[in-house]
Amino acid sequence: MRNEIELEAIIEDYLMGKLSPEEKEAFELLRVNDPAVDHKVVAHKFFLDSLKQYGNVHSLIQQMDKAHAEMDMESLVEEYKPHPSYIVNMWRKNKSAFTIAASFLLISIFSIYSIQHNTKQNGTYEVMRREITNIKNSQNKLVRSLNAPAKQEKGHLNAAKFGGTGFALTANGYLCTNFHVIRDADSIYVQNNKGDSYKVKVVYRDPQYDIAILKIIDESFSPLATLPYKLKKNAIGMGENVYTLGFPKDDAVLGEGYVSSRTGHGGDTTQYQVSIPINPGNSGGPLLDNQGNIIGVITAKENQVEGAAFAIKSKYILEALNAIPQDSLGKKVAYSKKNPLQGLNRTRQIEKIEDYVYMIKVYN
């Protein structure tokens, strides 16, 4: 217990910049070698950021209350006359309060916009959820719609508002995607490469790591064959070739590249940075290595660097799976010992995994 308390104190000093250069170097080495410590650092940073945001909002509310108390409302009413001079008088008497009110309004608008859209952080980090309301249906999509059973997506006369990608984690219908893809959804459907759509429900949400796990609940869904890939438990090195399959358009698109950094945006140790061109709709897609191991899930890209994308590491997908009762998941999970994709060329690998990668359609 004492060691845990001491570790929390060191983590806080580290995040607050209170460690000496030698202590900081030693602690960062500990983070690299101990995933449990690294996890605690990320979680504590998330907590401190949330606490700071709450403090800022609370402080602004207090300033607003004080400004409101100081405003001479009777004077404002009396001076409201059909002459430009009343504006000058109002400003002179209440400029302090107006300044605070205006600042609060601007910050509030910015905060609401950031929370609702959540597409950029620090001006460069853009999540890859696809807005598809105004996208015209392609000829291929129209053919799929005509061939699809009439009961599919029943009750939705309008197009889905957002889209992304997901991939199977179990043979009985559990899928992985990003939390930001399904955030605020009223209903969610997934569509396979044959054009068949299935209704799903969200069974696990993790906003901190931007992971969501879905479960297909449509009666027409038949269990999949044994999964052709597995989740990689260990980290992958820089320079390793990787690829992803996703839905930036109505058909699956392949993206190839390599791991360019072991950490993500701003040094985030929960992510990889990969050199792969991605677009809105790629969010939630699997990131695989040459052997067919899933090493992560695509989540965002860097706006100011061409081809720089970010993927959440597979260890956090495993943590999400462990949070779901094992009797619900079934036995055919994605981290089986044998990997059927190993040794196959890229074309053959894609042929085997495309049945397990889905387009996600979100209605709200």
Domains, the chain = 2-121 (no CATH), 126-364 (2.40.10.120)
Q: Is the pLDDT of residue 78 over 60?
A: no
Q: Which residue has the tokens 């939630």?
A: 284
Q: What confidence tier does 308 reach under pLDDT thresholds 50, 70, 90?
A: confident
| 7 sits in which H/E element | helix 2-15
Find the range with the poorest average confidence among 25-29, 129-133, 241-245, 318-322.
Answer: 129-133
Residue 161, pLDDT score? 78
Region of poorest pLDDT, from 175-189, 227-241, 333-347: 333-347
Place of tokens 């100081």: 70
Provide the token pair at 321: 């799976």
Q: What is the pLDDT of residue 152?
A: 42
Rg (Cα) of the chain, in Å, rounded? 25
**What's the pLDDT tens digit per position in 317-332?**
999 988 888 777 765 4
Q: Report pLDDT digits (tens) over 12-33.
A: 888 888 888 888 888 888 877 7
Q: Cα angle vertex 218, ends 217, 221, to 5°? A: 110
Q: pLDDT confidence of 169, banded at 50, 70, 90?
A: very high
Higher-confidence residue of 85 and 262: namely: 262
Helix (H) or strand (E) holding 112: helix 85-117
Look at residue 283 and give its three-state secondary structure. Answer: coil
Give per-residue pLDDT as tens, 267-286: 899 999 999 988 888 999 99
pTM of the model: 0.61
Question: How large is the average pLDDT for residues 147-163?
Answer: 53
Instruction: Single out the residue of 130, 129, 123, 244 nearest to residue 180, CA to CA.
Output: 129
Q: How confident is the model at residue 114 (pLDDT cuts 50, 70, 90)?
A: very low
Lowest mean pLDDT segment, chosen from 122-126, 229-233, 266-270, 356-360? 122-126
Query: 159 with 130: CB under 8 angstroms?
Result: no
Res. 289 pLDDT band, cuts 50 70 90: very high
pLDDT at 43 over 50: yes
**pLDDT surpassing 90 at residue 314:** yes
pLDDT at 106 over 80: no
Task: Retrieve residue 130's tokens.
Answer: 């696809």
Q: Are 130 and 248 in contact (CB under 8 A)?
A: yes
Nearest to 229 by CA among 337, 341, 319: 341
Give the mean pLDDT of 227-246.
Answer: 91
- Would you say residue 164 has pLDDT above 60? yes
In the predicted model, what is the mean pLDDT of the chain? 77
| Per-residue confidence band for 159, with pLDDT thresholds at 50, 70 and 90 | low
**Between 239 and 89, the higher pLDDT residue:** 239
pLDDT of residue 122: 45
- Write the DSSP symbol of residue 221: -
Q: Which residue do the tokens 């989540």 mark? A: 299
Q: Which residues, in sequence order, are CB contacts of 155 under 8 Å at separation 6+?
A: none
Give SS3 for 8. Answer: helix
Please give the backbone phi and psi of residue 252, each rounded to the nearest 5 degrees, phi first.
-65, 140
The 3-state DSSP composition of the chain as helix, strand, coil percent (nearest 5) reads: 40, 25, 35
Token reading at 79: 């001076």
User: Mean pLDDT over residues 189-208, rounded?
Assistant: 94
The DSSP code for 285 is: -
Share of the chain above pLDDT 70, in %: 68
Strand-pair partners of 255 = 244
Q: According to the model, what pLDDT value does residue 45 have?
A: 73
Count of CB atoms situated within 10 Å of the CB of 102: 10
Higher confidence at residue 214 or residue 265? 214
Instruction: Decide the pairing of beta strands 271-275 and 174-177.
Output: unpaired
Kindly state the DSSP code that residue 355 receives in the 8-state scheme.
G
Bigger pLDDT: 164 vs 59 = 164
- C-alpha 291/C-alpha 172 separation (Å) is 24
